[in-house]
Structure formats: C-alpha cells, structure tokens
C-alpha cells in the first residue's frame, strides 16, 4: 500500500526512515504525536541552535525561524504527512515557499527548490504500535539537487537524531 509521503514524493532524491515500537493503544500514540510540542523534545534544541550558529558564521545572520511544515495528509490514528518547500541549503538566505494546501504542494515545480515530506505512520504489530517516521526530499531541478546534496550530507546525522528524539518523546507521552 502506498502511503501519503510515497504518493507526494514517489522518487525522492533522499529519504530516511526511523521507527519505534510503543506499548500503547493507537489512540494514545496518535494523541501523543499530534500533541507534541518543541518543549517535549528538548534534546533537539542544541541541534537547531548549531544550524543557527553556522548560518550566523557563514552569512552574518540567524535564520528567522523558517516556514512551518504544512499538514498535507491527516488520517487520524494512521498517518500524518507534513510538507515544506524551500532552499534550506542556503541557511540564512533561504527562500522558503509557504504551502497553503496539498494541491499547492503537489503543483509546485519552480526550479531551484526542494520539496520535503515529513511523515508519521502508525501500524499495529504484535499488540503494540509501530510508529515510523519517514523523511523524503526531492529537488525541483538539477541545480537544486547539486546544492542540496552537500547540505544533506552535513545535516543528515542531526536530522536523523532529531527524528529519533521525536519518536522517543511520543513514546514517553503515550505511556
């Protein structure tokens, strides 16, 4: 079965998955996921701060918070897919594109950008819930891909660590 992230970005330039088993009901895991806040993931703050420091050193300014993720697919208790479009490799000079809807995300094809889908899937497994997060990114042009790849190589370890922190925070909230 194709999930929402696979449908939105069927051929990603990069992708990464992480999963955790949670001994709680689907409803508790879903509520913990959608109720999560930045305060629930304090270990991610140093990684976000490191990105801001690099931007300040390279470009002389700190990113202004960036464009927030937009919910693209919401199937309560089963799937949540968030989307974002931008030029994240440009750090403090990034041009992010506000995404107002699923249709806008799907239709966007302006060269020089990347489209990212950040998804969560809940599946029953042996009386527990497997919560999986998947990040899928596709560049909108060859130039964007050439610019994005080195950025991804640098941020990928921290990005994956943040995803694992999020999974752990959801588990803690659900138990």
What CATH number is associated with residue 31?
A: 3.30.530
pLDDT tens digits for 105-158?
999 999 999 999 999 999 999 999 999 999 999 999 999 999 999 999 988 998
Statement: residue 165 has pLDDT above 90? no
Range among 29-33, 91-95, 96-100 with highest mean pLDDT value: 29-33
User: In the chain, what percentage of residues exceed pLDDT 90?
Assistant: 62
Statement: residue 49 has pLDDT above 70? no
Statement: residue 1 has pLDDT above 50? yes
Statement: residue 171 has pLDDT above 90? yes
Q: Over the Cα atoms of the chain, what is R_g?
A: 16
Extract the tokens encoding 166. 């999020």
Structural domain harbouring 75: 4-174
Where residue 91 falls (left for φ over 0; alpha for ψ -120 to 50; beta otherwise) is left
Taking CA atoms, 47 is separated from 6, 67, 157, in Å, by 27, 18, 10
Total number of domains constituting the chain = 1
pLDDT of 167: 93
pTM value is 0.83
The dihedral through the CA atoms of 161, 45, 56, 100 has a sign that is: positive
Statement: residue 27 has pLDDT above 90? yes
Extract the tokens encoding 149. 């790849």
Is the separation of the CB atoms in 115 and 107 below 8 Å?
A: no
pLDDT of 162: 85
- How far is residue 144's CA from residue 122's CA, in Å, rounded to a whole number? 32
Residue of higher predicted confidence among 73 and 61 = 73
């Amino acid at each position: 079965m194709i999930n929402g992230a696979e449908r939105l970005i069927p051929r990603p330039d990069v992708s990464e998955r992480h999963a955790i088993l949670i001994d709680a009901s689907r409803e508790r895991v879903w509520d913990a996921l959608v109720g999560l806040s930045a305060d629930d993931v304090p270990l991610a703050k140093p990684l976000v701060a490191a990105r801001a420091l690099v931007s300040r050193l390279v470009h002389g300014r700190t990113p202004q918070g960036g464009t927030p993720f937009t919910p693209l697919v919401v199937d309560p208790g089963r799937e949540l897919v968030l989307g974002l479009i931008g030029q994240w490799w440009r750090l403090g000079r990034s041009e992010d594109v506000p995404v107002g809807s699923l249709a806008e995300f799907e239709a966007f094809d302006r060269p020089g950008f990347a489209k990212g889908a950040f998804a969560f899937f809940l599946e029953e497994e042996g009386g527990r819930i497997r919560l999986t997060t998947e990040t899928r990114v596709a560049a909108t042009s060859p130039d964007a891909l050439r610019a994005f790849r080195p950025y991804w190589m640098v941020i990928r370890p921290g990005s994956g660590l943040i995803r694992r922190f999020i999974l752990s925070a959801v588990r803690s909230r659900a138990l």
